């Protein structure tokens, strides 16, 4: 197994990327291809006293920044670490690609270079959210703000396969995020998506209201990219708000500080549950090869976990299963459906 | 000041409505009109040993249930407590109306019976969300899933006036909930709403990402009813998830239980901050008279607080200010705007 990593992606590149990938190599026994500014990467290896055993370095002189337009990956920034890494993945030089760089560029590059699975109309960004008693996959969580019912139905199939084959959840419950549980809710396009999901080869549990997402009402929460962005960012903001309030509560006086010390193990576990560095990253769904988007502020631990996730994704056979599922059960266009 | 209350609205009607209104009468010195099944209301007064001082009871034989279609309020359920109460408000028999009943019916009834302020295109449901260092008004939080840029701009003006005149916040910061801070984000309709809000007589702070809502990035979060429903329900669900996790943490062993006892004052305060019964209810914005939607599961305390909120709303002069603002600064249609 060989994982390709964008050494220049994210806020702490290349240092944290390199450290995380080396840790993953040592812990999971995989080969690593680091793509980026070779001089800088070699400097990190020297400075951190890390061996370059089973590390391949592919020089890429350019970097996609957060300010770059996503389409630059196929135009002015063809020699960026992200574009070079995606071409290496396409050409079979590795089994999966991880990057902490510009999300839009990664999606555009994934679609243009790696390409979508035949029959998949849109790639989606899927995030793994903590929730009561487990995790929930939210997709699309920000890639597509324009969407059709067919996109949502395909996201449901993709998410179900990932949760089953990568996360090991049997018969994952797929829910459509909506503003009510009745099948007439959410406007014409969402009603059509509901009907498509009902016919799709997934365990569709119907509409889920947003309050059910953290309460565990489904394993795969299907939505459009605008709504998914709102959900994802609100979870982040509320987690920060809550942790701030709890901190205030634990530091309000000496007695509280003693209580905080007693509670420390539980607090650490709770914080860990909310910590994105534990889950690794967000898989891009619908591409012909596994691509993982690591959080922009990832540290070495987060990159190591992203590599672990990339290994599971590559090992899962999910993409082949999706290709098979699509040829057996292509998602019908909404206009072909019987009126409910 | 006289407040009209729907004695049959909500899960715990009429008992909790009556008790809450009586408590409000005694604490705030207002008169109360209870609309509902007179026999049942009188029975509650007797059973709870409450005086009917400054309480008027208006008999309404029918009840709008949660299963009724909202439009029933103007058709088959004209004699329901909600419809009768709204007509009393329209006719000047009281200064404000509160109901814990069917939200859709209250909005439909408010629009059809009380009517919108001249120039306002849609009424909106506004909820007050807890956040770091204060509260934020979210509107529309579920009334309108179909919307135009003009609706959102008007929601911004309405929310700003409410936060200023009812909640006492100077120059409230109005933000447009979006999937990015750039003014080109969120699709054509949201881009047009951005331009309208920029020209509106409010302190517009631009787009706010959802993570900024609980972090206090704005005092008024403007959005469409679908997105507003997602935000509101997700806040509810995450609060329940977090409280459950904290509870688990505090009960995991004897030592933790001791810590929990120490932390009790802080925990009570935190829970109170998240408690909808403290804020009272959600004002309906854009109607000619003040209408407050109390939470369906409201207890007496929540109804008492809803009455307090109705008093502030009626005293604020906000509706008159809105009428004045609209005649001075009508929101232009999006197509009249210069292209940004």
pLDDT, tens digit only, all 340 positions of chain B: 999 999 999 999 999 999 999 999 999 999 999 999 999 999 999 999 999 999 999 999 999 998 888 889 988 899 999 999 999 999 999 999 999 999 999 999 999 999 999 999 999 999 999 888 889 999 999 877 789 999 999 999 999 999 999 999 999 999 999 998 889 889 999 999 999 999 999 999 999 999 999 999 999 999 999 999 999 999 999 998 988 888 888 888 898 898 888 888 888 888 887 776 667 789 999 999 999 999 888 999 999 999 999 999 999 999 998 888 777 767 767 666 655 4
Subunit contact B210:A234, Cβ cutoff 8 A: yes
CA distance A160 to A165: 9
- Assess contact for A4 and A96: CB atoms under 8 A: yes
pTM of the model: 0.92
B227 touches chain A (CB under 8 A): yes
Query: For residue A340, is pLDDT > 60?
Result: no
Of A166-170, A215-219, A295-299, the poorest mean pLDDT is in: A295-299
- Assess contact for A13 and A297: CB atoms under 8 A: no
Mean pLDDT of chain A: 92
Set of chain A residues whose Cβ sits within 8 Å of the Cβ of B241: 131-132, 214-215
Instruction: Check whether the bond before B193 is cis (ω within 30° of 0).
Output: no
CA distance B320 to A17: 59
Instruction: Give the mean pLDDT of A32-57.
Output: 97
What's the gap in Å between the CA of A56 and the closest CA on chain B?
A: 37
CA distance A312 to A308: 6
CA distance A243 to A290: 34
- Assess contact for A161 and A325: CB atoms under 8 A: yes
B 255-284: CB under 8 A from A = 255-256, 258-260, 262-263, 266-267, 269-270, 273
Query: For residue A150, is pLDDT > 80?
Result: yes
Instruction: Check whether the bond before A140 is cis (ω within 30° of 0).
Output: yes
Subunit contact B226:A187, Cβ cutoff 8 A: yes
CA distance B96 to A141: 42
Which residue of B146, B230, B273 is the best one to mutate when testing the A interface, meaning the one whose CB has the most A CBs within 10 A? B230
Specify the pLDDT at position B328. 76
**Which of these, B338, B151, B124, lies nearest to B229 by C-alpha position?**
B124
| DSSP code at position A32 | E
Query: For residue A9, is pLDDT > 60?
Result: yes
| DSSP code at position B139 | E
Joined together, the tokens standing for residue B155 give 């929601």
A 27-86: CB under 8 A from B = none
- Give me the residue from A237, A258, A266 closest to B214, CB to CB: A237
Instruction: Give the mean pLDDT of A306-332.
Output: 88
Residue in chain B closest to A271 (alpha carbons) equals B245
CA distance A81 to A306: 17
CB count in 10 Å sphere of residue A315: 14
What Rg value do the Cα atoms of chain A yield, rounded? 21
More confident residue, B234 or A247: B234
Subunit contact B266:A248, Cβ cutoff 8 A: yes
Residue B38 CB-density burial (10 A; 0-12 exposed, 13-18 middle, 19+ buried):
middle
Subunit contact A266:B249, Cβ cutoff 8 A: yes
A 158-187: CB under 8 A from B = 177, 179-180, 186-187
| DSSP code at position B340 | -
B252 touches chain A (CB under 8 A): yes
Subunit contact B230:A235, Cβ cutoff 8 A: no
**Which of these, A35, A105, A9, A54, lies nearest to A302 by C-alpha position?**
A9
B 293-332: CB under 8 A from A = none
Subunit contact A248:B260, Cβ cutoff 8 A: no
- Phi, psi of A131, rounded to the nearest 5 degrees: -160, 175
- The C-alpha angle B224, B228, B229, rounded to 5 degrees, equals 120
Instruction: Give the mean pLDDT of A5-12.
Output: 95
CA distance B276 to A316: 45
Residue A21 vs residues A53, A65, A105, B69, B218: alpha-carbon distances, Å: 12, 21, 22, 58, 40
Residue A316 confidence class, pLDDT cut points 50, 70, 90: very high
Buried b (16+ CB within 10 A) or exposed e, B105-141: bbbbbbbebbebbeebebbbbbbbbbbbeebbbbbbb
Instruction: Give the mean pLDDT of A125-151.
Output: 90
What's the gap in Å between the CA of B113 and the closest CA on chain A?
A: 26
User: ipTM higher than 0.95?
Assistant: no
Count residue pairs from A and B with Cβ separation < 8 A: 153
Set of chain B residues whose Cβ sits within 8 Å of the Cβ of A136: none
3-state DSSP of B49-108: CCCCCCEEEEECCECCCCCCCHHHHHCCCCCEHHHHHHHHHHCCCCCEEEECCCHHHHHH
Instruction: Give the mean pLDDT of A162-176.
Output: 96
Residue B251 vs residues A54, B257, B327: alpha-carbon distances, Å: 48, 5, 58
What Rg value do the Cα atoms of chain B yield, rounded? 21
CA distance B115 to B310: 18
Subunit contact B234:A237, Cβ cutoff 8 A: no
Specify the pLDDT at position B111. 96
- Tokens 């009281």: give the residue: B94
């Amino acid at each position: 197994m060989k994982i390709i990593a964008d050494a220049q992606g994210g806020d702490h590149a290349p240092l944290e990327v390199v450290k995380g990938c080396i840790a993953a190599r040592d812990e999971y026994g995989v080969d690593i291809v680091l793509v980026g500014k070779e001089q800088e990467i070699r400097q990190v290896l020297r400075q951190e006293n890390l061996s370059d055993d089973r590390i391949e370095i592919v020089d890429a002189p350019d970097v996609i920044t957060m300010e770059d337009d996503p389409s630059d990956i196929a135009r002015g920034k063809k020699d960026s670490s992200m574009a070079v890494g995606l071409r290496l993945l396409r050409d079979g030089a590795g089994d999966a690609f991880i990057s902490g760089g510009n999300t839009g560029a990664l999606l555009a590059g994934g679609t243009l270079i790696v390409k979508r699975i035949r029959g998949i109309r849109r790639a989606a960004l899927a995030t793994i959210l903590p929730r009561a008693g487990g995790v929930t996959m939210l997709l699309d969580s920000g890639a597509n703000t324009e969407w059709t019912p067919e996109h949502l139905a395909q996201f449901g199939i993709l998410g179900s396969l990932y949760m089953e084959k990568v996360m090991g959840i049997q018969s994952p419950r797929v829910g459509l995020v909506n503003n009510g549980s009745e099948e007439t809710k959410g406007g014409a396009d969402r009603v059509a998506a509901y009907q498509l999901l009902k016919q799709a080869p997934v365990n569709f549990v119907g509409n889920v209201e947003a309050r059910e997402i953290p309460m565990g009402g489904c394993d795969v929460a299907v939505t459009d990219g605008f709504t998914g962005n709102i959900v994802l960012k609100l979870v982040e903001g509320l987690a920060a708000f809550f942790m701030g309030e709890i901190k205030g509560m634990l530091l309000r006086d000496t007695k509280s500080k003693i209580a905080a010390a007693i509670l420390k193990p539980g607090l650490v576990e709770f914080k860990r549950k909310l910590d994105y560095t534990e889950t690794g990253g967000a898989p891009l769904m619908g591409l012909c090869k596994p691509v993982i988007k690591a959080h922009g502020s990832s540290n070495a631990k987060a990159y190591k976990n992203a590599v672990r996730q990339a290994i599971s994704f590559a090992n899962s056979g999910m993409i082949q299963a999706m290709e098979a599922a699509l040829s057996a059960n292509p998602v019908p266009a909404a206009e072909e459906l019987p009126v409910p």
